[in-house]
Structure 1
């Protein structure tokens, strides 16, 4: 789930070693189309505390831009966005379901499971390749194969907001009066990259 399409997976192979060299883990990447240009979104974090600073976002953005300028994996102009996973973060790796055990989450699968593809409940861990989740309105803990999960993210709750406030306090940042303007992004850095190669006639 860190990469959704074949092109995402190819880009992830380039981005992973860059992030690792900076002491970061890539949580998710998505190359999305737009009206004027494509947008490459990279979510990353430090593996030690699952956070990232604006400075680290900027370093990763510059490092990725340098490699992409040389290898040109995305034709044309695109917007590169590097950010933290945010408070209501996506869950893309087995470790995420263990780390956020006890938190509320929404899951979607790529196939029907007992007549449905969407699930909501409290995460109960990860075991033998399965996501464990206590579904709303059901007594038994459900086991959903991780390989069947197409999308998963935390639900923005009061508990998550308090957790986010604690992180901001630890970083010495002021508390918000209410919901953040964009809880899904957190720290973010954007850069526009034009990899269009001029034709020989214009060279």
Structure 2
């Protein structure tokens, strides 16, 4: 059986986004992967964070919706979770959502001679991430195509 994972993810996003938005959550990401069987992972976020109760509530409603729509014609496991405190940022909209937050970025290609930058997200425009370095307040312009990995960092109190 040929499985178009990307098409399933896009269809799930179309169906689930309005539902979770109405419930007060933001759809952070959707993954559909083989992991000892197929797993459909719905990753949520909201201001103040996600609780286990939030995940359970969304899981029940998403499960019912997907049963009716029947877009995955075989057995799979549904997981609903939070992206975690040090969540990985992989899409322009992730960076936009967390504007003003501290992030650690590892680069495929150096920017101003650096392969790692820790700074505050100051925006994303036309595929370029603006980072204000934590220590120097210097603004760096980092092409998203240069980013190998980016994670939110916890602020020190």
Structure-2-length-normalised TM-score: 0.72
State the shift of 1:77 in Å.
1.5
Task: Identify which of 131, 141, 148 aligns with 1:143.
Answer: 141
Aligned length: 147
Task: Identify which of 60, 83, 86 aligns with 2:84.
Answer: 86
Greater share of strand residues, 1 or 2? 2
Contact 1:97 1:125 in 2 (8 A): no
Bigger-Rg structure (1/2): 1
Paired residue for 2:38? 38
Structure-1-length-normalised TM-score: 0.58
Deviation per residue, 1:130-180 (Å, 9 max, x gap): 3123579x995332345776753224x573xx6xxxxxxxxxxxxxxxxxx
> Following the alignment from structure 1 to structure 2, what is the Cα–Cα distance between the partners of residues 113 and 39?
36
Paired residue for 1:105? 104
**Higher relative contact order by CA 8 Å / sep ≥ 6: 1 or 2?**
1
Runs of 5+ consecutive residues of structure 2 not aligned to the other structure: none
Paired residue for 1:123? 120
Runs of 5+ consecutive residues of structure 1 not aligned to the other structure: 163-203
Deviation per residue, 1:8-36 (Å, 9 max, x gap): 2222111101101211111111111123x
> Following the alignment from structure 1 to structure 2, what is the Cα–Cα distance between the partners of residues 125 and 17?
28
Structure-to-structure mapping, 1:1-203, within 5 angstroms? 5-35=6-36, 37-46=37-46, 49-91=47-89, 92=91, 93=93, 94-100=95-101, 103-107=102-106, 119-129=116-126, 130-133=128-131, 141-146=139-144, 152-155=150-153, 159=156
> Following the alignment from structure 1 to structure 2, what is the Cα–Cα distance between the partners of residues 15 and 75?
18
